[in-house]
């Protein structure tokens, strides 16, 4: 059976993806910063192994890569991320916090993907997906605000595009996805769709990815989003 690795799987979309893929019979490697407190994740039925991982900690990334040495990973979902609901304006920007957001949202997913690129290339599925956001689309930005979130996701998109080009010769498909605005802790109760709906859409999308999707920015329903 194919293997999924999903980060930030203790709650939200990560948890829902673990559930959805486990129900489909996949082997799941699910990561969380604090597995002891990830009760819902540990309760997911199926072949689920939970790993400790703070994606912003290079030593923990290295430990995980070592633990997974030789394991083919058909789908790597870089889901862990922060700070979607910021309310900052230009006048009250916290620059140190902004740098931390870059470290988690932009740098960490690339560090993890670089560490596991071999595992993905050795699989049948050969896919690396990144949870980006429509908020990171510079073209679509008409609302302003949310400086930190928008810029970290735009920077992530730029890095994903480069990664996609660099890994395509190895047959690996890298995509940036907008998972929809979902009713998770990050999305809030007013959000448009349920986490389960989002995970369902995403699995359907990931199941049908082809090499020509590599390096694209996709909505959860497969539609193309502009940079």
Partner 1 sequence: MPPGSKPTVVITGANRGIGLEFARRFGADRWRVHAAVRDPDSAEDLKALDGDVVVHPVDVTSDLQVREFADSLAGAPVDLLINNAGIIGPRGLTLDDMDFGAWVEVLRVNALSPVRMLGALLPNLEAGGRKMVVNITSRMGSIGDAGGGSYVYRSSKAALNAAMKNIALDLADRGLTVVMIHPGWVSTDMGGASAPVTPEDSVTGMLSLIDSLGPSDTGRFFDYQGETIPW
The residues that touch partner 1, with contacts defined as CB under 8 A, are 58, 89-91, 93, 95, 98-99, 102-103, 106-107, 110-111, 114, 117, 136-139, 141-147, 150-159, 161-163, 165-167, 215, 226-227
Query: What is the closest distance, in whole angstroms, from the C-beta atom of residue 163 to partner 1 in the complex?
Result: 7
Nearer to partner 1, 31 or 184 (CB): 31
Q: Which residues of 116-132 are buried (b: 16+ CB within 10 A; e: fewer)?
A: bbbbbbebebbbbbbbb
Nearer to partner 1, 133 or 198 (CB): 133
Query: What is the closest distance, in whole angstroms, from the C-beta atom of residue 164 to partner 1 in the complex?
Result: 8
* In contact, 151 and 199? CB cutoff 8 Å: no
Phi and psi angles of residue 218, each rounded to the nearest 5 degrees, phi first:
-115, 140
Query: What is the closest distance, in whole angstroms, from the C-beta atom of residue 147 to partner 1 in the complex?
Result: 6
Nearer to partner 1, 3 or 151 (CB): 151
- Torsion-angle region of 46 (φ positive above 0: left; ψ -120 to 50: alpha; else: beta): left
Structure tokens at 206: 């990931």
Q: Which residues contact 107 (CB under 8 A, 6 or more apart)?
A: 56
Query: What is the closest distance, in whole angstroms, from the C-beta atom of residue 198 to partner 1 in the complex?
Result: 24
Nearer to partner 1, 27 or 151 (CB): 151
């Amino acid at each position: 059976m194919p293997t999924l690795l999903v980060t930030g799987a203790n709650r939200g979309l990560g948890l829902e993806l673990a559930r959805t893929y486990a129900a489909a019979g996949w082997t799941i490697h699910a990561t969380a910063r604090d597995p002891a407190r990830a009760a819902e994740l540990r309760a997911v039925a199926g072949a689920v192994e939970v790993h400790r991982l703070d994606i912003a900690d290079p030593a923990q990334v290295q430990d995980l890569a070592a633990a997974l040495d030789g394991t083919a990973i058909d789908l790597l979902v870089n889901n862990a991320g922060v700070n979607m609901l910021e309310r900052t304006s230009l006048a009250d920007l916290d620059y140190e916090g902004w740098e931390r957001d870059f470290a988690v949202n932009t740098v960490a997913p690339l560090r993890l993907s670089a560490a596991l690129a071999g595992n993905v290339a050795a699989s049948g599925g050969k896919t690396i997906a990144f949870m980006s956001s429509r908020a990171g689309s510079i073209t679509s930005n008409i609302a302003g605000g949310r400086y930190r979130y928008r810029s970290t996701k735009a920077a992530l998109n730029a890095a994903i595009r480069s990664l996609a080009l660099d890994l395509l010769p190895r047959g690996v498909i890298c995509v940036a996805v907008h998972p929809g605005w979902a009713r998770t802790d990050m999305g809030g109760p007013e959000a448009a769709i349920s986490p389960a709906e989002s995970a369902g859409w995403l699995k359907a999308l990931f199941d049908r990815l082809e090499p020509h999707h590599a390096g694209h920015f996709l909505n959860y329903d497969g539609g193309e989003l502009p940079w």
